[in-house]
Amino acid sequence: MKWFYDFYREIATTDLAHWLETLPAHLAKWHKEALHGDFKKWLKLVEQLPKTQPSQVNLTDSVSIGSANDITEYQQKQINGLLKQFMPWRKGPFYIHDIHINTEWRSDWKWDRVAPHISSLANKTVLDVGCGSGYHMWRMLAQKPEMVVGIDPTQLFLIQFQAIKHFAPNHPIHLLPLGIEQMPALRAFDTVFSMGVLYHRKSPFEFLQQLKEQLKSGGELVLETLVVEGDENTVLVPGERYAQMRNVWFIPSVKALEHWMSRAGFKNIRCVNLDETRLEEQRATDWMTSHSLVDFLDKDDISKTIEGYPAPLRATLIANR
Ligand SMILES: Nc1ncnc2c1ncn2[C@@H]1O[C@H](C[S@+](CC[C@H]([NH3+])C(=O)[O-])CC(=O)[O-])[C@@H](O)[C@H]1O
């Protein structure tokens, strides 16, 4: 697939070149499987997006590409209709020629909590593990890194990412449909982000190790995850569901997570932000019309999930390899 060939060319002469020993085989396998389902239909729809010439790309305080004045009314309707085919849009918001993709999550609020605490990304090589539709990668790009690479195994997120990238194609930003477990130990990234993924992993220590193996010596890990109140020995392992999510395994306290990170060999570990998820941050919209946070909390006491666990509390921790 052309997207991936472009990426191979871009990394061939960089520290990421080792990746080419495994990546083509993983993507070839993925491609064979993907072309059976919805992905094939989505791919055709992405190709129907009209080519436009955006007059501006603003990534500093939003992800905003082009304005309505750059295109005809007909094109705006066409773009809107095609983008709606990629619902549900969960992570954003995006503004494409003034079409507001009002996503379920205000991912910009998470970025506002994280960004003040990270080292500058200028001229850096950056990995975002579990990047979703790539919203935060676009915001990272505003700091002029050398390259931003995201990995996320969810097909719809790859399509949403490519739909956005269609309107701003010439930026060093790539999404690959991989899980972290498919990554060789590259030790080549200056900064590795992993936001909203740790609690989905069955083995958090293995996950921390996998993140560490992507970093250069001295490189920075930015880890954002669900936490609970408690001491070094407090960890919530919920039942089948947590806030209706099925695949949630470990929700540690900040102290426990710091301890885990230290055992995994990270240095200079610090928690830079702690925040309760507000109902306004995750809600149903015209672009994601099904259930959202309000339906996942106890309606008589929103400090609890409907399963009776503490409501989502998220922490950002930063550390170095
Ligand atoms: N093995 C895996 N390897 C990599 N990614 C994975 C894996 N398994 C699942 N994911 C991906 O991790 C992301 C988690 S969402 C966070 C998005 C963004 N970072 C955010 O901070 O808003 C949070 C949530 O849905 O709870 C999804 O996009 C999965 O496809």
Q: Which amino acid does the sequence have at 270?
A: R
pLDDT band at 36 (very low <50, low <70, confident <90, very high): confident
**Ligand 1: residue whose CA is nearest its atom 12:** 130
Q: Write down the pLDDT at residue 28.
A: 94
- Taking a C-beta distance cutoff of 8 angstroms, is the pair 273, 226 a contact? no
Q: Which residues contact 157 (CB under 8 A, 6 or more apart)?
A: 91, 131, 132, 133, 134, 175
The amino acid present at 163, given as its one-letter code, is A
pTM: 0.98
Centre of ligand 1 from the C-alpha of residue 159, in Å:
15
Q: What is the mean pLDDT of residues 193-204?
A: 98
96-151: per-residue pLDDT in tens? 999 999 999 999 999 999 999 999 999 999 999 999 999 999 999 999 999 999 99
Over 80: is that where the pLDDT of 69 sits? yes
Residue 284's CB is within 10 A of a number of other CB atoms, namely 15
* Residues of the chain above pLDDT 70, percent: 100
pLDDT at position 51 is: 97
Does residue 1 have a pLDDT over 80?
Answer: no
Q: What is the 3-state secondary structure (H, E, C) of the chain?
A: CHHHHHHHHHHCCCHHHHHHHCHHHHHHHHHHHHCCCHHHHHHHHHHCCCCCCCCCEECCCCCEECCHHHCCHHHHHHHHHHHHCCCCCCEECEEECCEEECCCEEHHHHHHHHHHHCCCCCCCEEEEECCCCCHHHHHHHCCCCCEEEEECCCHHHHHHHHHHHCCCCCCCEEEECCCHHHCCCCCCEEEEEEECCHHHCCCHHHHHHHHHCCEEEEEEEEEEEEEECCCCCCEECCCCCECCECCCCCEEEHHHHHHHHHHCCCEEEEEEEEEECCCCCECCECCECCCCHHHHEECCEEEEECCCCECCEEEEEEEEC
Asked if residue 90 lies in contact with residue 292, where contact means CB atoms within 8 angstroms, the answer is no
How far is the C-alpha of 314 from the C-alpha of 271, rounded, in Å? 11
Binding annotation for carboxy-S-adenosyl-L-methionine: 91, 105, 110, 130, 152-154, 180-181, 195, 199, 314
Protein residue closest via CA to atom 29 of ligand 1: 130
- Ligand 1 pocket by Cβ (under 6 Å): 91, 107, 110, 129-132, 151-154, 157, 179-181, 195-197, 200
Tens of pLDDT along 245-265? 999 999 999 999 999 999 999
Confidence of residue 179 (pLDDT cuts 50, 70, 90): very high
Q: According to the model, what pLDDT value does residue 218 have?
A: 98
Q: How far, in Å, is the centroid of ligand 1 from the Cα of 307?
A: 22
Ligand 1 centroid to Cα of residue 180, in Å, is 10
pLDDT at 201: 98
- What value does the mean pLDDT of the chain take? 97
Ligand 1 centroid to Cα of residue 131, in Å, is: 6
Round to whole Å and give the CA distance between 221 and 266: 9
The residue-averaged pLDDT of 153-164 equals 97
Distance CA 222, CA 198 (A): 12
Distance of CA 26 to the CA centre of its chain: 20
Minimal-distance CA residue to ligand 1 atom 15: 196
Q: Which of 140, 154, 200, 202 to mutate to test the pocket of ligand 1 (most atoms within 8 A of CB)?
A: 200
Phi-psi region of 307 (alpha: psi -120 to 50; beta: other; left: phi over 0): alpha
The predicted pLDDT at position 35 comes to 83
The per-residue pLDDT for range 75-85, each reduced to its tens digit, is 999 999 999 99
CA of 178 to the centre of ligand 1 (A): 11
Question: What whole-number distance in Å separates Cα of residue 93 and Cα of residue 164?
Answer: 11
Greatest distance between any 2 Cα atoms in the chain: 59
Q: What is the per-residue pLDDT across 277-311, written as a single tens digit (0 to 9) for each?
A: 999 999 999 999 999 999 999 999 999 999 999 99
Which residue matches tokens 């099925």?
Answer: 246
**Average pLDDT estimate for 199-227:** 98
- Which amino acid residue places its CA nearest to atom 2 of ligand 1? 179
Give the span between the Cα atoms of 198 and 209, in whole angstroms. Answer: 12
